[in-house]
């Protein structure tokens, strides 16, 4: 019991770090440099994770890593940066909390594997909560920010489905490191062309870049994967709820954002929806090992099979995801990938 509690505390580092990332990005990083912001997040984190797991991709995983890096790192990180800058922290974290539900629906559409009724109910409740939070706000909500959030969830969900389909039982941490490096290297020339030379960060901005790269990416991924290997999927799914709670807490208490009763009710609905959609883990550990491939679930044709039964635990990042974490995205976190 005590050992499990320690793993719960370690795993909780990830969703708390991802939830705080919305606040740090909005308050301390330059608003007009999303490409540089994403690149400077991905590359140091990728190098740190690669130092922990110095393994090369093998075979088809060279090009698969490039594809997933383009989706889960380059695309997701840039869109998440824009959303974090454009939306209030409490709004961004709540909207992105529905990433696991978006993954579930996209996986259903692409693979014809029916989700369980509880998962469908969770998706409807979560979407209703987001609508209540957005439509009852007195301040206008940035439409570009919402569009960036929706695009981030779509990109990361597609990346998750691919990672689950390509699952081959290798080292997930090493593959994530290579995805971060691949995505960061794609972003470097784009940032140089469209945003000019990077501004050398100093002071609080330097500390903020250090936080998003080291804490909210490298440390968060390492802690999250450790929890996925040792804790039940249901426990991991519930820990993912700390992501939006952290964002809302920082937005209201630290950033001074105001949420009325309707907005808090919307937040409760979102959390309830994600809780309904979480995987029903057993009492044993090793939720990562319980993941099944997309094609396996489609062949079985049963509700909740394949990745759908675990999408909430995977997405918590996602922003993540995965997520690349931060509330979204499958960086292969439930679908171990090919490294040697």
pLDDT in tens, 273-331: 888 876 655 444 554 443 333 333 333 334 444 444 444 444 433 433 444 456 543 33
Burial (CB count <10 Å: 0-12, 13-18, 19+), residue 228: buried
Q: What integer pLDDT is reported at residue 111 of this predicted model?
A: 77
- Angstrom distance (rounded) from CA 36 to CA 34: 6
The percentage of the chain sitting over the pLDDT mark of 70, rounded to a whole number, equals 79
Higher pLDDT, 327 or 37: 37
Give me the numbers of helices (H) and strands (E) for the chain, helices first please.
16, 2
Closest by alpha carbon to 334, among 285, 296, 292, 300? 292
Question: Could you identify the residue written with the tokens 């972003």?
Answer: 187
Q: Which residue has the higher pLDDT, 37 or 1?
A: 37
The answer for residues whose C-beta is within 8 angstroms of residue 264's C-beta and 6 or more apart is: none
pLDDT at 206 over 90: yes
pTM: 0.82
Residue 136 — φ and ψ, nearest 5°?
-105, 5
By C-alpha distance, which of 247, 201, 155 is closest to 40?
201
Check pLDDT > 90 for residue 102: no
The pLDDT of residue 48 is 97
pLDDT band of residue 170 (cuts 50, 70, 90) is low
Q: Given the structure tokens 């049963």, which residue do they identify?
A: 302
In the numeric block, which tokens belong to residue 310?
């675990």
Longest Cα–Cα distance of the chain, Å, equals: 55
Give the CA distances from residue 299 to residues 113, 186, 197, 303, 333, in Å, rounded to whole numbers and listed in that order: 8, 36, 50, 11, 22
The answer to whether 324 and 175 are in contact (CB under 8 A) is no
Cα angle 157, 287, 274; round to 5: 50
**Mean pLDDT for the chain overall:** 81
């Amino acid at each position: 019991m005590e050992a499990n509690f320690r793993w719960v505390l370690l795993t909780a580092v990830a969703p708390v770090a991802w939830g705080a990332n919305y606040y740090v990005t909005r308050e301390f990083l330059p608003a007009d440099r999303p490409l540089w912001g994403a690149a400077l997040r991905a590359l140091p984190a990728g190098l740190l994770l690669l130092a922990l797991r110095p393994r090369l991709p093998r075979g088809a995983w060279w090009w698969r890593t490039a594809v997933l890096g383009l989706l889960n790192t380059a695309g997701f990180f840039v869109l998440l940066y824009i959303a974090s800058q454009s939306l209030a922290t409490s709004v961004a974290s709540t909207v992105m909390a529905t990433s696991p539900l978006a993954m579930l629906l996209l996986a259903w559409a692409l693979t014809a594997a029916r989700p369980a009724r509880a998962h469908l109910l969770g998706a409807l409740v979560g979407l209703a909560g987001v609508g209540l939070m957005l439509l009852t706000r007195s301040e206008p909500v940035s439409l570009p920010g919402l569009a960036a959030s929706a695009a981030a969830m779509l990109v990361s969900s597609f990346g998750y489905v691919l990672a689950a389909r390509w699952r081959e039982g290798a080292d997930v941490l090493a593959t994530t490191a290579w995805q971060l490096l691949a995505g960061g290297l794609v972003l470097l020339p784009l940032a140089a062309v469209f945003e000019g030379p990077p501004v050398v960060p100093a002071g609080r901005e330097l500390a903020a870049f250090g936080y998003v790269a080291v804490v909210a990416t490298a440390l968060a991924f390492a802690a999250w994967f450790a929890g996925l290997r040792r804790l039940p999927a249901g426990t991991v799914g519930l820990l993912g709820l700390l992501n939006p709670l952290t964002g809302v807490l920082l937005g209201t208490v630290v950033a001074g954002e105001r949420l009325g009763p309707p907005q808090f009710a919307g937040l409760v609905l979102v959390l309830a929806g994600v809780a309904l959609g979480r995987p029903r883990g057993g009492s044993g550990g090793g939720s990562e090992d319980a993941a099944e491939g997309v094609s396996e679930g489609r062949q079985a044709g049963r509700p909740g099979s394949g990745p759908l039964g675990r999408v909430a635990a995977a997405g918590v990042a996602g922003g993540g995801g995965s997520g690349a974490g931060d509330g979204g995205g499958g960086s292969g976190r439930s679908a171990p990938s090919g490294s040697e």
